Amino acid sequence: MNISVILGHPNTMSFNHAIARTALDILRSRGHTIFFHDLYAEGFDPNLPYSEIEANADLPVYIRVYCEEVKVSNGFIIIHPNWWSQPPAVVKGWIDRVFRPGVAYNFLEGDKGEGIPISLLKAESAIVFNTSNTPAEREIKVFGDPLETLWKNCIFGLCGVKRFVRKKYRIIVTSTLQQRKTWLKDVEQTIMDFY
C-alpha cells in the first residue's frame, strides 16, 4: 500500500516526532510504500496563493508532487499538536494547497462550487494522531472537540475516506516517560489495525 505520512510539529524532540518515527518503523516493517513529509523541516509554505485556487491552475512543481502522492495514497497518517483546537498553520496550509479540486474532490459539470463535492481520494482509511495539553473533559465540554469534526467530516469524509480514527495523547507537558512508551505502543497497534 501507498501511505502518506504528514508531520506538522516544529520541535524535532517532540512527542509528535516520536509518533512519526514509530509510524514509519511500523509501515516499513510491513512493506508499505511511504510518502513522508515533515512539513516544518521541508519549509512548506502554507499560504495558498490566489493563482492556485482554480482547479486547472499552473502549480509549482513541489505542490504537484504532493498532489500526485495524495492521488495514489491508499491511506493517510497525519500527526500534529492541537493548537487552539486546530492543526498548526503548516498542516492546514498543506490541506489548502494539496487537497484541491481535481485531486481530493470535484464538482459536477456546471457546478460553480455551490454544490456537494464528489469525492476523489483513492484512500480508504486515515489516522490522525494528536497531542494536547487540554484535559479531555474540558476539550469536550468547552470546545466540543473541533479537530474531530474537521478531520473526520470536513476533510476525510468529504473527500471519500470511509475508515477514520483520531487518537489523542494528553497531557503531554506533564507526561512521564512510561506514559509516552504506552502511547507509542498504542500508535503501533492502531497502525497495525489499519495497515
Phi, psi of 140 (to 5 degrees): -75, -50
Percentage of the chain modeled with pLDDT above 70:
95
Counted domains in the chain = 1
pLDDT, mean of residues 174-178 = 93
Task: Count Cβ neighbours within 10 Å for each residue of 67-99 and write b for 16 or more, e otherwise.
Answer: bebbeebbbbbbbbbbbebebbebbbbbbebbb
pLDDT, mean of residues 145-153 = 91
C-alpha cell at 2: 501507498
Strands 125-132 and 75-81 turn out to be parallel
- Of 8-12, 109-113, 127-131, 132-136, the poorest mean pLDDT is in 109-113
Looking at residue 149, which CATH number applies to its domain? Answer: 3.40.50.360
pLDDT in tens, 65-115: 999 999 999 999 999 999 988 899 999 999 999 999 999 999 877 676 677
Q: Are 184 and 25 in contact (CB under 8 A)?
A: no
CA distance 42 to 96: 17
pLDDT of residue 113: 67
- Of 14-18, 52-56, 70-74, 108-112, the poorest mean pLDDT is in 108-112
pLDDT of residue 91: 98
Asked if the model's pLDDT at residue 30 lies above 80, the reply is: yes
Please return the burial class of 184, using the count of CB atoms within 10 Å of its CB with bins 0-12, 13-18 and 19+. middle
> By residue range, what is the domain housing residue 104?
2-194
